Amino acid sequence: MLTLDKIYHAAFVLKDVARKTDLIEAPRLSKDCQLYLKTENLQATGSFKVRGAYYKISQLSKEESDKGVIACSAGNHAQGVALAATRRGIKSIVCMPDGAPIMKVENTKNLGAEVCLVPGTYDDAHDKAVELQEETGMTFIHPYDDEQVIAGQGTIGLEILDQLPDVDAVIVPVGGGGLISGVAFAIKSLKPDVKVYGVQAEGAPSMYRSLHEHKYQTLSAVSTFADGIQVKTPGELTYKLCEEYVDDIVTVTEDETAAAILSLMENQKLVAEGAGAVPVAAALFHKLPIEGKKVVCLVSGGNIDVNILNRVITRGLVMSGRKANLTIALEDKPGQLQQVADIVSRCGSNVVSVLHDGSDPNMPISSCFLKLTLETRDNAQIEQIRQELTKAGFQLVAERV
């Protein structure tokens, strides 16, 4: 049974292993509330997961330790298990989906674990880990549906209350539910009036649906670049804890998450992975009733694959109105491009790419498509440019992509 004593014991065990990460105020991110960031992206291994993994492994018997441990993970739990097992001299095997970011796979290996890549999603990796556990007799370290793992994650709740005693609300990313279960249990046990909200990716809303439909369920498919919360089935234990201690769960889109990653980089000089940025996305896009409140967003991890970071930044720029793609249908004659450039310049925007396309079979031979990529200030400036081009007689085919 999960108790507050277990969470305090976990905090004692972790005091020389897990960092007490900073809680920093982030006034640039929101004008609607007093926003703070709990920077678990700066944790050892770049994620909160080391807390639960280490505490669980620290409580194993000598017999269990001698047999080794096995786990499944999209990457962050893998690194936590690898670090914990290696530091305690225990063999570890981690099953990871083959689409896991290369950085997370390599870091897991470098921390001393044997990695088994499994085709499919996290859930497929879970099934493979269970199979190997039965074959080897190793101890399975569940990433979220385990009381000791949850107790380890709950130490973050203790730290938040210590760092900001008058906090009004805490926003937490949700995959399988281990993190929010521990944080919510700790906070609600000590200060029940504090609101605890969860956030899931719109394409992976397993806990969201389970709680809102009051029925524990498994999704047929999930899709999100936030691989840390790409979970089809929430934990059974975590589902019960969320029902009792979590005030609400909302979802955010991929574009909203990308915009949050970009905002954290620009305004706070912090790199967050998709899962770590969803609480900030929920705050930025007004998904929760937090106006005028002291709010903590738990940035759970910063292990984002550099191969997708450029795409994420581009999506974030588009979502926040900092980049626009315009397609203009115009008559192919001298002076047209100059007129368009003059309008864009007058509106204060910068052209970074121009493509003249006269090959579309649906266009008259004497016409063409002019495709522009613009650096813009915000969505209002994009709308101004659109209106000025229309007023000048130009036909916009697509405003933004």
Q: How far apart are CA 24 and CA 268, in angstroms?
A: 9
Catalytic residue among 6, 30, 47, 49: 49
Q: What are phi and psi of 246, to 5 degrees?
A: -95, 135
| Set 300, 320, 323, 349: catalytic member | 300
Phi-psi region at 120: left, alpha or beta (left = phi > 0; alpha = psi -120 to 50): left
Rounded Cα distance, 401 and 382, in Å: 12
Give the position of tokens 């191969």.
307
Does the annotation count 49 as an active-site position?
yes
**Intra-chain end-to-end CA distance of the chain, in Å:** 51
Kindly report the three-state secondary structure assignment for every residue of the chain. Answer: CCCHHHHHHHHHHHCCCCCCCCEEECCCCCCCCEEEEEEHHHCHHHECHHHHHHHHHHCCCHHHHHHCEEEECCCHHHHHHHHHHHHCCCCEEEEEECCCCHHHHHHHHHCCCEEEEECCCHHHHHHHHHHHHHHHCCEECCCCCCHHHHHHHHHHHHHHHHHCCCCCEEEEECCCCHHHHHHHHHHHHHCCCCEEEEEEECCCCHHHHHHHCCCCCCCCCCCCCCHHHCCCCCCHHHHHHHHHHCCEEEEECHHHHHHHHHHHHHHHCCCCCHHHHHHHHHHHCCCCCCCCCEEEEEECECCCCHHHHHHHHHHHHHHCCCEEEEEEEEECCCCHHHHHHHHHHHCCCEEEEEEEECCCCCCCCCEEEEEEEEECCCHHHHHHHHHHHHHCCCEEEECCC
**Which are the catalytic amino acids?**
49, 300
